[in-house]
Structures are given as structure tokens and as C-alpha cells.
């Protein structure tokens, strides 16, 4: 080998090249060959035994003075080499063991005792997801922990054993993995006090955890903002970073916004712009979940400007993606398209392709394009999102299933029913294997599949999917959630298209009642159930009544 590590590997695996024969006495060769045996039982039992054998060979080789000199030199060379080999191998073993220990860093957090506690908490949560949810949840956490452990072990091995990764880069990778561990700590802690509808969000958060592999990517590590140089500020910033990571793992709805605001207040007190931007992003996301679009947009824009000012393109791209999503949720599609364009401008100068912020941007781009009817652009956005997720995630990951369901709608609206049905079947199969039956994201998948059938004029297979979708939304999100209104509207459309206008009217009325409580008066979504109601009245011969809704 060209190094001591390579030599050690060759010896231990029986791949050692034969030692040169010229100028080496047979008795000395035999001693060296035994010291290099593959089987430890066949080697010299100790350094003392090896040296004794060398000395004995030297005493027997007294044919002439030159032979004695060669023997003495052989003793020095073999003795020194053997000591160095032993010392190096022992040091290497210590480093290998240290890396193995690092890879088990989550064992104290996720073990049999933790599994029992969380299983009991899930069972007592009164959630409709509890019955079939725990095995899926446990499997998902097992996968996250295994992914983290493999990444931690690989990072340590590359830095400390193989010496193929620069030390500074390895240290940044360790910080990244430490933060991911804090995310899991927050997630497991929240699971131990989970109640009711929070379990639905737990699955969503679990599916959206960033894979540990990003902490091995040199380009992504180089984009992480440095901590302050002042030692005291550096310590406070590191502590706040860990707190933000733990918050990301938590999912308890009522505490989400308050927790994010507390993080933002602490970041502002510290006065460190990169963490103010990170905390503002959390407030924006929590505001979006609570339905406060104005606050969500305000904090998202602040995060974008702060990140851009610090040349933190990764966070700025993520903020642009979220602002596009906020606009999409309000049917402000042109605003969403502008934010997507701004994000893409930043992504053009990013040295890392298909980073998670860019994947989020592609996903936001697809949704915004779908909302404004740019169907080919939406399809391209979903394909870009799939390519990104498939770089980082397993083929059966739930996020891949969700993207396939989005592409199903884009292809269906384009009239490409074969491609739409293929995407729907693949996506729904992944989601069915990944989520409990009553999970809200499964309801969304069922809704998309039903819309595909309705676009193709197939009412019969669509209706049972829509009724199951309504059942799930009511069970997991409550009867007042806007998604319940959407389910009522789609059932109304299916009934109307199937020749049952009288049965469709109560569904359109239910959709209108639901949205009146949750959406602004001029929201474009109202047009759909109003148009459906007008159509139903016309088909029932009640044209005069149809004028108002139409």
C-alpha cells in the first residue's frame, strides 16, 4: 500500500504483496511473514516474542561478519517497523471505535423505553389516527435515526479514519447533524404529549424532516452562515440555533405560533441577522398554518430581505418559495409567480443544484402555475420537484407520493389522462403505504384522484373517493375547516355531472356555508360552488332562482 492505512487493510484482508527476496535472510523473512499473517492466532503472541525470535536468528547466523551486520540491521528495521505498525494500528482502531460511538449518538433518545412511552402517548391521544398510526410512525422514526447514524458514522470515518474530508468541513457537518438531532429531540418530546388532531401534523412533520445526507454535501455545508466571532455571542447563537432546531421538530398546533414568536424575540435581542431571518421564517410558517396570511407574508418578506442581505441564498430561496405558497393559498397567482421568479433568479447563482430550498421553490412554482392555469409549466415544476426529492429521499417516501398526486392533476387538466392515471396510481400507492387511513394528506390524494376521474367524465369511481375524503377531513381537521368545504363542493360537482342535480344542491350550500366563515368575501373559490348551485337550479327548471348565484 501507499500508506499505513492501506498496508493495514492489505494485511488484514490477505492482499499483501510478497516482500522482496533480494538481500533478506530466510530466517528473517520467516519472522516477518509470521508477523504479517492474516489470522491473528498465527502471528507472534507479543512484541517480546518477535524480538526474541530475531535475536535467536541473529545468534545462529554467524557464517561471516557481513551476515552478522545484515542481521543487526534487520533487527533494527523489523523491530522499528513492527513497533510503528502496532502503534499505528492501535491508533487507527481507536479512531474507528470513536466513529462507531459517534454514529450511536441518538441511542439515548430513541430506544425501547422511548418507544414504549410514545406508543402509550399515541394510544391515549384520542386521535382517529392512533389505531393504525403507531406502527407507521415507529417505522418512520426508525428510518430517520438509521439515516442520521449512517451519515454521522460516514462523516467521522471520512474525517478521522480515511482523512479524505477537510477538518473544517467535517466540523460544519457535525454541527449540521447536531441540529438535526435537536429536531428529532423536539419531535420525540412533542410525541410524548400528543393529543387529538396533533397526531395528523406529526406525520406531516416526520415526512418533511430534512434527510441527514444534506450534512455530507460540501456545497451545502459551505452555504451555512458562520456563527458570530465573539465567544459569548457565539455561544448564545449556537444555543438559539439548537432551540430553533428543536422547535422545527415540534408540531403541537396551539403552541406553534407562540413558540416561533419567542424564538424571534430572542434572536432580535441577540441582534444576529442570520438567526433573526431563521426565526422570522418560523413565525411566517406558523402564521400560515393558523390562517393569518397577512402576518405570514409580512414575516416571510422580512426573512427574505434579511437572508438576501447576508448573502444567505439558501434561506432567501426558501423564503421566496414560501411566499409563493402563501400567495397560492390566497389565489393571488400573479404575486406567487413573481416570488417564484425572484427565487429562481437567486437559484441561478447558487453553486448547489437541487438543494432542498430549490426543491421547495420548484414545488411552489408548480402549485402557482397550476393555480393560474399554466398546466405545462406546472407539470415541469412537478417533474423538477420529483428529480430533487429522488436525489435525497427513498423512492417510496411520502413526499414523492404527494408530488405525484399534484402532477396527476396537472396532467389531467391537460387532457393527458393516461399519464394522469399513472401518476395518481403511483402516488396514491405510496401514500397508502406511508400514512394512516384517516390522515389529511391521504384525503388530499383521494380528492386529486377523484378530480382526475371527473375530468375524464367518470363519475362512478369518483364519488366514493370524495365521500371518503370528506370523512377524513371532518375526522382530522374538524367540520369548520375550509378543506371540508372543498370536499362538499367536489361531491356536488360529481352528483351534478352524474345527473343528480337535486342531490348536489345541499353539497354546494354546505361548501358556501363553510367558506363564508373562513374565507374573505371576494375569494375566487366562492365562484365554484356558486356556479355549481346555479347549474343545478337550471337543470331542475328553477332558472329564476339560478340568476343570483350565477
pLDDT per residue over 330-357, tens digit each?
Answer: 889 999 999 999 999 999 887 766 688 9
> Do 86 and 156 reside in the same domain of the chain?
no
Give the integer Cα–Cα distance in Å for 472 and 340. 32
pLDDT digits (tens, 9 = 90+) for 382-399: 999 999 999 999 999 999
Q: Is residue 233 part of a domain?
A: yes
Tally the domains of the chain.
2
> Whole-model pTM?
0.78
How confident is the model over 424-437, as a mean pLDDT?
A: 96
**Beta strand segments in 88-187, E:** none
Residue 304: which of 320, 293, 288 has the closest Cα? Answer: 320
Same domain, 153 and 86: no
Q: Write the DSSP assignment of 28-94 as a string of letters.
A: HHHHHHHHT-SSGGGS-SSHHHHHHHHHHHHHH--SSHHHHHHHHHHHHHHHHHHHHHHHHHHHHHH
**Which candidate, 462, 489, 461, places its Cα nearest to that of 473?**
489
Clarify whether residues 132 and 89 are in a common domain.
no
User: Are residues 139 and 235 located together in one domain of the fold?
Assistant: yes
CB within 8 Å of 219: residues ≥ 6 apart: 351, 352, 355
* pLDDT tens profile 52-109: 665 666 666 554 444 444 444 454 545 554 545 555 667 777 888 888 888 899 999 9
pLDDT above 70: percentage of residues in the chain: 83
Helix 47-60 and helix 65-103, axial crossing angle in degrees, nearest 10: 170
Q: Tell whether 401 is covered by a domain.
A: no
Give the whole-angstrom CA distance, residue 396 versus residue 393: 8
Locate 157 and state its grid cell: 470515518
Please provide the distance, in angstroms rounded to a whole number, between the alpha carbons at the two ends of the chain.
82
Among 53, 80, 96, residue at a domain's last position: 96
Same-domain pairing of 85 and 171: no
In a domain, 131, yes or no: yes
* Residue 213, domain extent: 123-218+229-251
Dihedral sign of CA atoms 199, 201, 203, 206 in order: negative
pLDDT tens, residue by residue, 96-155: 888 888 889 999 999 999 999 999 999 999 899 998 999 999 999 999 999 999 999 999
Among 78, 96, 114, give the residue marking a domain's end.
96
Packing angle of the helix pair 130-156, 167-191 (nearest 10 deg): 160
Cβ atoms of residues 446 and 439 within 8 Å: no
Whether 242 and 128 share a structural domain:
yes
Give tens-digit pLDDT for 39-49: 555 655 654 55
Among the ranges given (1-5, 88-92, 488-492, 546-550), the one the predictor scored with the smallest mean pLDDT: 1-5
Phi, psi of 23 (to 5 degrees): 75, 10
Q: Do 147 and 243 lie in a common domain?
A: yes
Task: Say if residue 154 is in the same domain as residue 192.
Answer: yes
Gap between the Cα atoms of 528 and 490, Å rounded: 9
Are residue 140 and residue 246 in the same domain, yes or no? yes
User: Is the CB of residue 314 less than 8 Å from the CB of residue 355?
Assistant: yes
- Whether 143 and 234 map to the same domain: the answer is yes
Q: What is the pLDDT, as a whole number, of residue 519? A: 80
Residue 395 lies in a domain: no
pLDDT, one tens digit per residue, over 281-327 is 999 999 998 889 999 999 999 999 999 998 888 999 999 999 999 99
* Domain assignment present for 462: no
129 and 237 share a domain? yes
Look at residues 43, 78, 96 and tell me which one is the last residue of a structural domain.
96
Assess if residue 173 is contained within a domain. yes
Torsion angle of the four alpha carbons 365, 366, 371, 372, in this order, in degrees rounded to the nearest 10: 70
Q: 108, 80, 133: which is closest to 439 by C-alpha?
A: 133
Amino acid at each position: 500500500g501507499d500508506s499505513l492505512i492501506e498496508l493495514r487493510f492489505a494485511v488484514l484482508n490477505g492482499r499483501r504483496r510478497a516482500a522482496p527476496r533480494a538481500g533478506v535472510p530466510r530466517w528473517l523473512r520467516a519472522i516477518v511473514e509470521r508477523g504479517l499473517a492474516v489470522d491473528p492466532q498465527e502471528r507472534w503472541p507479543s512484541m517480546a516474542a518477535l524480538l526474541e525470535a530475531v535475536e535467536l536468528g541473529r545468534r545462529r547466523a554467524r557464517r561471516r561478519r557481513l551476515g552478522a551486520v545484515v542481521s543487526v540491521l534487520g533487527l533494527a528495521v523489523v523491530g522499528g517497523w513492527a513497533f510503528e505498525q502496532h502503534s499505528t494500528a492501535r491508533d487507527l482502531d481507536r479512531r474507528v471505535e470513536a466513529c462507531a460511538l459517534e454514529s450511536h449518538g441518538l441511542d439515548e433518545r430513541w430506544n425501547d423505553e422511548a418507544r414504549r412511552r410514545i406508543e402509550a402517548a399515541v394510544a391515549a391521544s384520542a386521535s382517529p389516527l392512533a389505531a393504525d398510526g403507531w406502527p407507521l410512525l415507529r417505522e418512520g422514526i426508525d428510518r430517520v435515526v438509521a439515516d442520521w447514524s449512517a451519515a454521522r458514522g460516514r462523516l467521522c470515518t471520512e474525517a478521522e479514519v480515511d482523512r479524505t474530508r477537510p477538518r473544517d468541513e467535517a466540523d460544519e457537518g457535525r454541527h449540521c447533524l447536531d441540529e438535526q438531532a435537536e429536531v428529532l429531540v423536539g419531535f420525540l418530546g412533542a410525541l410524548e404529549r400528543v393529543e387529538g388532531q396533533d397526531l395528523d401534523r406529526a406525520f406531516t412533520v416526520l415526512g418533511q424532516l430534512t434527510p441527514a445526507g444534506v450534512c455530507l454535501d460540501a456545497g451545502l455545508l459551505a452555504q451555512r452562515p458562520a456563527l458570530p466571532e465573539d465567544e459569548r455571542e457565539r455561544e448564545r447563537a449556537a444555543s438559539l440555533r439548537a432551540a430553533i432546531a428543536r422547535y422545527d421538530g415540534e408540531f403541537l398546533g396551539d403552541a406553534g405560533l407562540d413558540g416561533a414568536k419567542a424564538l424571534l424575540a430572542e434572536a432580535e435581542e441577540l441582534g444576529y441577522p442570520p438567526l433573526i431571518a431563521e426565526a422570522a421564517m418560523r413565525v411566517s410558517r406558523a402564521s400560515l398554518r393558523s390562517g393569518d396570511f397577512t402576518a405570514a407574508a409580512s414575516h416571510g418578506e422580512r426573512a427574505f430581505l434579511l437572508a438576501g442581505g447576508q448573502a444567505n441564498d439558501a434561506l432567501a430561496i426558501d423564503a421566496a418559495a414560501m411566499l409563493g405558497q402563501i400567495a397560492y393559498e390566497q389565489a393571488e397567482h400573479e404575486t406567487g409567480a413573481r416570488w417564484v421568479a425572484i427565487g429562481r433568479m437567486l437559484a441561478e447563482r447558487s453553486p448547489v443544484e437541487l438543494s432542498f430550498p430549490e426543491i421547495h421553490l420548484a414545488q411552489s412554482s408548480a402549485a402557482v402555475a397550476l393555480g393560474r392555469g399554466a398546466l405545462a409549466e406546472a407539470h415541469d415544476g412537478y417533474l423538477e420537484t420529483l428529480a430533487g426529492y429522488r436525489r435525497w429521499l427513498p423512492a417510496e417516501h411520502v413526499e414523492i407520493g404527494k408530488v405525484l398526486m399534484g402532477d396527476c392533476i396537472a396532467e389531467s387538466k391537460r387532457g393527458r389522462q393516461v399519464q394522469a392515471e399513472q401518476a395518481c396510481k403511483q402516488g396514491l400507492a405510496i401514500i397508502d403505504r406511508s400514512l394512516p387511513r384517516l390522515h389529511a394528506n391521504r384525503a388530499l390524494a383521494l380528492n386529486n384522484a377523484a378530480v382526475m376521474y371527473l375530468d375524464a367524465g367518470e363519475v362512478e369511481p369518483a364519488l366514493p373517493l370524495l365521500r371518503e375524503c370528506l370523512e377524513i377531513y371532518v375526522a382530522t381537521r374538524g367540520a369548520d375547516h375550509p378543506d371540508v368545504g372543498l370536499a362538499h363542493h367536489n361531491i356536488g360537482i360529481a352528483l351534478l355531472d352524474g345527473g343528480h342535480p337535486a342531490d348536489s344542491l345541499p353539497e354546494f350550500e354546505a361548501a358556501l356555508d363553510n367558506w363564508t366563515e373562513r374565507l374573505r368575501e371576494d375569494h375566487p373559490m366562492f365562484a365554484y360552488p356558486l356556479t355549481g348551485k346555479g347549474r343545478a337550479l337550471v337543470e331542475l327548471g328553477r332558472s329564476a332562482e339560478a340568476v343570483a348565484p350565477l
